[in-house]
Structure 1
Amino acid sequence: MASIPIERGTAQWSSRFAFIMAAVGSSVGLGNLWRFSAELGTNGGAAFLMIYIACIVFVGIPVLMSEYIIGRAGNASSAVRSSDDLANRSGVSKVWSSGAWFGMIASFLIVSFYCVVAAWVLAYIPKFLFGTFQGMPAGEIEQQFGLMLDNPTTQVLPWFLFFGLVTSWLVARGVNKGIELAARLLMPVFFLLLICLAAYSIISSMGNGGTSDALAFMFTPDFSKINAEVAQSALGQACFSIGIGNAIMITYGSYLPKNVSIPKSAVTVSLVDTVVAITAGLAIFPVVFANNLDFEAGAGIFFTTLPTAMSNAPGGMIVGAAFFFLAFFAAITSSVSLLEPSVAYLAEKTGWAKKKAAWITGAAIMTLGLASIYVTGFMDFIDGGLAGPVLAPLSALLIVLFTGWRLNKAILADELSGPGEGLGRFILFFVRYVAPIFMGLVLILGTWSRWIAPLFA
């Protein structure tokens, strides 16, 4: 594919394919594997999936399009300065740029514990390759995970430092030689591995009913499972999976050439992300059902339930190692995107070279990540108490309100012009009238359940 010429001073994606791979790589991470399987298993299967897809269409895509618009229209690389620039050109208060601030803080916090979860993933690869789990009963595999967490200095910290350094190095190399290169090389391998693993899971589980049970669980909705809690979980997972509300897509949008359609890109990235999440479910649940394991194990389905199933399957050690290699590829493309907003802001704010800003920011997130390794409950505080229920939805809410109601109409029209303009106008309706309502609900319910309700318990 021919390169797209650079049109302004900031670095830009070399092609539309490169941008799609980078954006999909950002969206397709452990959220599609580790967290999606956990949420699907504990929230009713198909009922959750049905609401999840609706949330992607009516909320995720509008917010994603809004973030791309702010990123490309702003005259800066960082999300915060792009938002400041657009607020100034639109004649509104710079308070509206706080959406980018909240998002950047959320991404910084998330990547600090994301590196820890990625370290768990890396630690499992040699366990499979060297047959640690071979023939081991479920209880002992669960104990293995517990032992890893109880001995973080020897079993987690080295992998954590390795992953953090690789993430920092890729971001330090810049947009084209770092982030884009990683996405273009790793994402095709990721897709191939995922399809092969899903095929293996489906075929190997046909004989004992695991495949039919998994398909029924995933695609035959039990409407009695639908309630406010399931809906809230589905919307929260949709936002987490696509990566909205973290300033990532504003930053990525700033590297987007003018002749790439923003509406079409938002739909493409969201569609691929959803397909990957469903395919990941097909790679996990047939094996889980075939072995009569707990499909409601939550996060444990990834690190205890799945290894139990793989340890008893023909060629399971190789398949298990391949699965966790897959998770590593997903994790690294997402971690670089989570680090990028803070690096871009620091480089613009200080005038430092991108390399220097990346290594300093990387050192900061690794320092904070140590708390997630050694301080009990700290990771849950960041993910389930601060970034997830408060900062990310608050960021997304402010962004859609700004894009839909406060952004200069001429700027908005210019960003939506060209291929996909009709689609953009259609999505704009949801930016203005639908996404703000649901993002507001996520913010209110998340804040209530995490911070306010416990005060009255």
Structure 2
Amino acid sequence: MLKEREKFSSRLGFILVSAGCAIGLGNVWKFPYMAGKFGGAAFILIYLVFLVILGLPILICEFAVGRASRRSTAKAFHMLEPEGSNFHKFSYMSMVSNYVLMFFYTMVSGWMMYYCYATASGRLAGKDTQAVADYFSGLKASPGTMTFWMVLVVVLSFGICALGVQKGLEKIVKVMMICLLALITVLAVHSLSLDGAAEGVKFYLVPDFDAMKEIGIGNVIFGAMSQAFFTLSIGAGSMTIFGSYLEKKRSLAGESIHITILDTFVALMAGLIIIPACFAFGVEPDAGPGLIFITLPNVFNQMAGGRIWGFLFFLFMSFASLSTVIAVFENILSYAIDLRGWSRRKAVVVNLILMIGLSMPAILGFNVLSGVQPLGAGTSIMDLEDFIVSNNILPLGSVVYVMFCVSRYGWGFDGFLREVNTGDGIQFPKGIRYYMLFVIPAVILVIYLKGYYDMFCQKGPVTLALWMVIGVLVLALVGWFIFGRKKRTKKC
């Protein structure tokens, strides 16, 4: 007999833990520089629209699959799919995605914790622009330093998961999220009080559609659509596990809206911290991925009390990244528990050792293995791992979830709607089925193919053509997951 499923002790716990999984580096690292790159407020306005019409329905699908099956993606599709369906084969893609994401995410979380320590100890104080850039380069060139901080992240996160759903995951992530929300509020108030911050606020909150035309309306719309899609951590099954721990007292649409609002609040507040500060000190807010580790330390060095504010900022970033690591580790543990029947302790020990080993290639890719450039000149092992997850599994996984929930080849819309609308709260509209069946998958496929084009268009027509063919083949495989049917064995 199956052991009774653990559950969250409170509704707040579910919302904060799920939001903690969604609130990661995509919100607090990528969102501010995307807003800076694509013109500020006009980008944000379009982003919010796509968040509601694209991200929210997929999030609801993941929660519904988890709550109805009471299992992670390792077994959820097996339990809900009709006879002869191939959807259960997506389970393996989902498991691979969560592991591969953590191969490099643990390293980047280690960077955040290291910079928290470096700013608190004054190691960045007084350095000029070049010295700050060299400091980050020095970190990447040191496999020993990066390994230490990665191992710290892995041990700390698995240690929390080892305590269980209520005593570990829920209890600690709740505290972490409350601290994160407090820190982000303090940092935003301070940023708004800086001399010259008003121009940054205007850029960030007042739409300038003329500037949007200069950047390119299509570019801004696609950028906003992509960011809205990736910000909720949907497509890999990370949210399914939290749905499996949820009681049926509340409808899933209402709970998903609360999580989306909290996720969006953190992303918007992160921009409100960074962009006014950049304007106040004459720094371009579209500095890209280097914004956090190169541009902002220079801003803190110019600020009164910059050492304290820098420490608080990287503490906030550490909480944001760790909450995601802990949440995804919980999903990884659930695979071993659901598939193999392992105890939580055994699953923790095996996966802790495994994760440390599998995180090493990303670390070594910046130094010892820097000659390995899998996606072309200038790329690293981390770029390949990120490409596998962000450009492939997340968008295609989202298509699988939507089609599983609304098409006749999967669970079906009636079963999905029944599960989503069980409990008190906002009811999911029945008339949205065809929008989910046709429009959402089409939009995601555009994002998927555009992602391949953007990644390889600068590498020559032959390389672009080769990778586009690979992308189409992967797409065909996913189509088989959705529409492929096993032949039923005839009974004698």
TM-score of the pair, normalised by structure 2: 0.85
Tell me the equivalent position of 2:177: 187
Q: Does 1:63 align with 2:58?
A: yes
Tell me the equivalent position of 1:392: 394
Tell me the equivalent position of 1:4: none
Pair 1:247–1:213, CA change in 2 (3 A): same
Q: Which moved more, 1:395-404 or 1:225-234?
A: 225-234
User: What SS is found at the alignment partner of 1:248?
Assistant: coil
TM superposition shift of 1:308 = 0.6
Q: Give the conservation status (yes or no) of the 8 Å contact 2:38–2:212.
A: no
Give the greater-gyration-radius structure (CA).
Answer: 2
Q: Kindly report which structure 2 residues correspond to 1:362-377, keeping only aligned pairs within 5 A, or say none.
A: 362-375=352-365, 376=370, 377=380
Q: Does 1:264 align with 2:254?
A: yes
Q: Give the conservation status (yes or no) of the 8 Å contact 2:406–2:413.
A: no
Tell me the equivalent position of 1:355: 345
Q: Give the conservation status (yes or no) of the 8 Å contact 2:107–2:363.
A: yes
Pair 1:362–1:447, CA change in 2 (3 A): farther
Tell me the equivalent position of 1:142: 133
Tell me the equivalent position of 2:78: 84
Q: Give the conservation status (yes or no) of the 8 Å contact 1:32–1:280.
A: yes
- Residue by residue over 1:57-106, the C-alpha shift from the partner in whole angstroms, topping out at 9 and shown as x without a partner, is 111000000001111111x422130111100xx3450x223444323322
Q: Does 1:322 align with 2:312?
A: yes
Q: Per residue, is there more helix in 1 or in 2?
A: 1
Pair 1:402–1:226, CA change in 2 (3 A): farther
Residue of 86, 89, 94 corresponding to 1:103: 94
Q: Give the conservation status (yes or no) of the 8 Å contact 1:84–1:97.
A: yes
Q: Which moved more, 1:227-236 or 1:46-55?
A: 227-236
Tell me the equivalent position of 1:5: none
Pair 1:239–1:103, CA change in 2 (3 A): farther
CA distance in 1, matches of 2:405, 2:156: 35
TM superposition shift of 1:218 = 4.6
User: What SS is found at the alignment partner of 2:231?
Assistant: helix
CA distance in 1, matches of 2:18, 2:429: 18
Q: Give the conservation status (yes or no) of the 8 Å contact 1:59–1:434.
A: no
Tell me the equivalent position of 2:206: 219
CA distance in 1, matches of 2:449, 2:178: 39
CA distance in 2, matches of 1:236, 1:429: 22
Aligned residues: 442
CA distance in 2, matches of 1:223, 1:253: 39
Q: Does 1:125 align with 2:116?
A: yes
TM superposition shift of 1:350 = 1.3
User: What SS is found at the alignment partner of 2:236?
Assistant: coil
Residue of 379, 382, 385 corresponding to 2:382: 379
Tell me the equivalent position of 1:447: 452
Q: Does 1:307 align with 2:294?
A: no
CA distance in 2, matches of 1:199, 1:284: 11
- Residue by residue over 1:384-435, the C-alpha shift from the partner in whole angstroms, topping out at 9 and shown as x without a partner, is x211111111100111011111324442232123434534536656433432
Pair 1:409–1:394, CA change in 2 (3 A): closer
Residue of 407, 412, 420 corresponding to 2:411: 407
- Residue by residue over 1:274-330, the C-alpha shift from the partner in whole angstroms, topping out at 9 and shown as x without a partner, is 111000100111111111113221011111111111111111101110111111111
Counterpart code for 2:444: M
Pair 1:398–1:455, CA change in 2 (3 A): farther
Tell me the equivalent position of 2:377: none
CA distance in 1, matches of 2:360, 2:264: 32
Pair 1:449–1:101, CA change in 2 (3 A): farther
CA distance in 2, matches of 1:433, 1:126: 49
Q: Give the conservation status (yes or no) of the 8 Å contact 2:151–2:356.
A: yes
CA distance in 1, matches of 2:184, 2:173: 15
Tell me the equivalent position of 2:29: 34
CA distance in 1, matches of 2:122, 2:312: 13
TM superposition shift of 1:345 = 1.2
Counterpart code for 1:366: I
Q: Kindly report which structure 2 residues correspond to 1:173-252, keeping only aligned pairs within 5 A, or say none.
A: 173-204=163-194, 207=195, 209-221=196-208, 222-224=211-213, 225-252=215-242
Q: Give the conservation status (yes or no) of the 8 Å contact 2:417–2:428.
A: no
Counterpart code for 1:436: P
Q: Which moved more, 1:27-36 or 1:443-452?
A: 443-452
- Residue by residue over 1:6-44, the C-alpha shift from the partner in whole angstroms, topping out at 9 and shown as x without a partner, is xx9211111111100111111112221112223222233
Pair 1:185–1:426, CA change in 2 (3 A): farther
Counterpart code for 2:151: L
Counterpart code for 2:283: L
Pair 1:39–1:363, CA change in 2 (3 A): farther
Gaps of 5+ in 2: 371-379, 463-492
